[in-house]
């Protein structure tokens, strides 16, 4: 499959010399409780790419989103420009003002525009917005795999008007994640998080390939409930409904014991009304240990407990087991998963660490993303 994408990978940056190049990045860095910027992994990853573009005398226009409440991207832009002084931040969302600044650019310069989601019509993929963005450049590069499952103007709209490519981070994600569309078996997928409704297609796809799928976190509560098990006050995804062939599949694995919000441990068949599940228990981790050791491919995405409230036993234990695995290949993804792995200082012990969460799961479920199709079908 990667061969189909190779012509969209940039092999010679000199073809971009003196060109106005629009680069869609993911600079959506986590925000600390004090409002400051947290982990900068995503930014660190794209620094060499931006340097290479500048050294190749491209004129770089950076688009990215940031935050979830309409925050300005200026704080991230300041970090970026402190590392790469050729980058300047342009505030505001007036297209004519921005065009004027772009016209003043010299080769090797870069501008980072305001949070794209502050431009009205971006998230609705309004054609006029895409056309205005496209008018800034001559070439478009998508290096934001992690948001390429979104039908937004800066992802799927701009490529309708410009010669388009994938950036190096996107290329790395495609090359590595494509291996997981048909993983080397025996294989194990470990899924955590809250909403199982967005993951049913992926679970079914892997079960159909005879891959073992462990479902933990709040995702498992739906399975318990549909199987007639008491889940008390535990979080349940009301939009989800698993069909019987998935619900009772022999390769679908769920916790056999759990940790409750009062720190008690309980076997699944001992749960009572009023209980709230917040993590998986020691017996579950021990059972997973054997399956992890026997698997040629292990994939994990999402925490299996409410780790942000201190219930991190399951997530930390499982990630450590995967990191200590002596044979086969190991893949992890999802922002929360990476935060836990980084805290354990084990990120470098996995075969591949994906910087995407929802996009990774969507790609594994469907084999493509709207952002991939936009580039491959571009002008």
* Token reading at 21: 């190049």
pLDDT digits (tens, 9 = 90+) for 203-234: 999 999 999 999 998 899 999 999 999 999 99
Mean pLDDT over the full length of the chain:
94
54 vs 60: CA distance, rounded Å: 7
pLDDT at position 3, please? 62
CATH code for the domain of 30? 3.40.50.1260
Helix pair 74-83, 41-55: axis angle to 10 deg: 60
Residues 36 and 170 in one domain: yes
Q: Which residue has the higher pLDDT, 236 or 140?
A: 140
The answer to whether residues 114 and 228 belong to one domain is: no
Domain assignment of residue 341, yes or no? no
Say if residue 166 is in the same domain as residue 251: no
Residue 48 within any structural domain of the chain: yes
Tell me the average pLDDT across 166-194. Answer: 95
Local structure of 298: helix, strand or coil:
strand
Same domain, 226 and 107: no
- Is residue 181 within 8 A of residue 293, CB to CB? The reply is no
Q: What percent of the chain has pLDDT over 70?
A: 98
Positive or negative, the CA dihedral 240, 29, 339, 182 is: positive
Average pLDDT over residues 361-378: 96
d(CA 341, CA 228): 34
Rounded-to-integer distance, Cα 289 and Cα 317, Å: 9
Q: State how beta strands 139-142 and 87-90 pair.
A: unpaired
d(CA 332, CA 312): 17
Take residue 32 and report the two structure tokens written for it. 């600390």
Query: Is 355 among the domain residues?
Result: no
216 within some domain: yes
| pLDDT-based confidence at residue 119 (cuts at 50, 70, 90) | very high
150/212 same-domain check: no
Does a structural domain hold residue 140?
A: yes
340 located within any domain: no
pLDDT 10s digits, 297-337 = 999 999 999 988 899 999 999 999 999 999 999 999 988 89
Residue recorded with tokens 């291996």: 179
Q: Which two tokens stand for residue 182?
A: 């048909």
* Final residue in a domain of this structure, among 297, 312, 327: 327
Is there a single domain that holds both residue 73 and residue 94? yes
Mean pLDDT in residue range 64-93: 94
What is the distance between the alpha carbons of residues 105 and 99, in angstroms, rounded to a whole number? 10
Exposed e or buried b for every residue in 136-171, given b needs 16+ CB within 10 A? bbebbbbbbbbbbbbebbbbbbbbbbbebbbbbbbb
With bands split at pLDDT 50, 70 and 90, how would you rate the model's confidence at 31? confident
198 near 217, Cβ under 8 Å? Answer: no
Rg (CA), the chain: 22
- Let me know if residue 344 belongs to a domain: no
Angle between helices 200-208 and 358-366 (to 10 degrees): 40
Q: What confidence tier does 365 reach under pLDDT thresholds 50, 70, 90?
A: very high
How far apart are alpha carbons 293 and 296 in whole angstroms? 8
User: Which tops the pLDDT comparison, 302 or 198?
Assistant: 302
User: Residue 36: pLDDT band by 50, 70, 90 thresholds?
Assistant: confident
Band (172; pLDDT cuts 50, 70, 90)? very high
How far is it, in rounded angstroms, from Cα 80 to Cα 61?
13
- Asked if residue 124 and residue 206 are part of one domain, the reply reads no
Please report the pLDDT score of residue 226 as a whole number: 93
pLDDT band at 29 (very low <50, low <70, confident <90, very high): confident
241 and 154 within one domain: no
One-letter-per-residue 3-state SS of 324-369: CCCCCEEEEECHHHHHHHHHCCCHHHCCEECCCCHHHHHHHHHCCC
**Distance between the two ends of the chain, CA-based, in angstroms?**
21
Q: In terms of domains, do 162 and 201 share one?
A: no
Model confidence at 242, in pLDDT bands (50, 70, 90)?
confident
In this structure, are 17 and 122 located in the same domain?
yes
SS3 annotation, 236-269: CCCCCCCCHHHHCCCCEECCCEEEECCCCEEEHH
Residue 363 lies in a domain: no
pLDDT band (50, 70, 90) for residue 2: low
Query: Could you list the residue range(s) of the whole structural domain that residue 278 is in?
Result: 185-327
Residue 25 has pLDDT above 80, yes or no: yes
pLDDT band at 1, cuts 50/70/90?
low
Based on the domain organization, do 128 and 263 belong to the same domain? no
- The domain total for the chain is 2
CA proximity to 190, closest of 352, 17, 34, 334: 334
**Same domain flag for 266 and 147:** no
Helix (H, G, I), strand (E, B) or coil at 212: strand
289-299 pLDDT, tens digit each: 999 999 999 99
Neighbour-count burial of 111, counting CB atoms closer than 10 A to its CB (0-12 exposed, 13-18 middle, 19+ buried): buried
Identify whether the C-beta of residue 131 lies closer than 8 Å to the C-beta of residue 161.
yes
Question: Residue with structure tokens 């889940």?
Answer: 231
Q: Is 376 or 41 the better-scoring residue by pLDDT?
A: 376
């Amino acid at each position: 499959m990667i061969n189909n994408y190779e012509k969209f990978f940039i092999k010679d940056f000199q073809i971009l010399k003196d060109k106005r190049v629009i680069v869609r990045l993911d600079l959506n860095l986590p925000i600390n409780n004090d409002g400051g910027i947290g982990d900068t992994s995503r930014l660190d990853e794209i620094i060499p790419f931006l340097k290479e573009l500048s050294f190749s005398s491209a004129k770089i226009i950076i688009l990215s989103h940031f935050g979830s409440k309409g925050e300005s991207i200026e704080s991230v832009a300041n970090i970026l420009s402190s590392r790469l002084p050729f980058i300047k931040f342009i505030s505001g969302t007036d297209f004519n003002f921005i065009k004027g600044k772009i016209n003043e650019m010299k080769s090797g310069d870069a501008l980072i525009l305001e949070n794209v989601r502050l431009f009205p019509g971006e998230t609705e993929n309004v054609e006029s917005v895409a056309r205005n963005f496209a008018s800034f450049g001559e070439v478009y590069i998508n290096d934001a795999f992690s948001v390429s499952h979104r039908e937004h103007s800066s992802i799927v709209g701009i490529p309708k008007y410009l010669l388009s490519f994938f950036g190096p981070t996107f290329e790395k994600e495609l090359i590595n994640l494509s291996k997981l569309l048909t993983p080397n078996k025996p294989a194990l997928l470990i899924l955590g998080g809250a909403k199982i409704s967005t993951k049913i297609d992926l679970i079914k796809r892997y079960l159909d390939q005879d891959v073992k799928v462990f479902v933990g976190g709040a995702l498992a509560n739906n399975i318990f409930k549909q199987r007639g098990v008491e889940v008390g006050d535990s979080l349940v995804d009301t939009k989800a409904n698993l069909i019987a062939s998935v619900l009772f599949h022999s390769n679908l694995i769920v916790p056999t014991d759990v940790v409750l919000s009062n720190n008690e441990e309980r076997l699944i068949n001992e749960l009572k009304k009023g209980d709230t599940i917040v993590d998986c228990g020691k017996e579950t981790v021990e059972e997973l240990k054997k399956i992890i050791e026997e698997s040629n491919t292990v994939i994990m995405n999402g925490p299996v407990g409410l780790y942000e409230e201190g219930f991190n036993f399951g997530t930390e234990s499982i990630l450590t087991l995967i990191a200590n695995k002596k044979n086969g290949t190991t893949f992890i993804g999802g922002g929360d998963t990476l935060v836990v792995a980084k805290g354990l200082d084990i990120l470098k012990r996995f075969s591949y660490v994906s910087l995407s969460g929802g996009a990774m799961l969507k790609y594994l479920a469907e084999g493509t993303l709207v952002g991939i199709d936009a580039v491959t079908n571009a002008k």
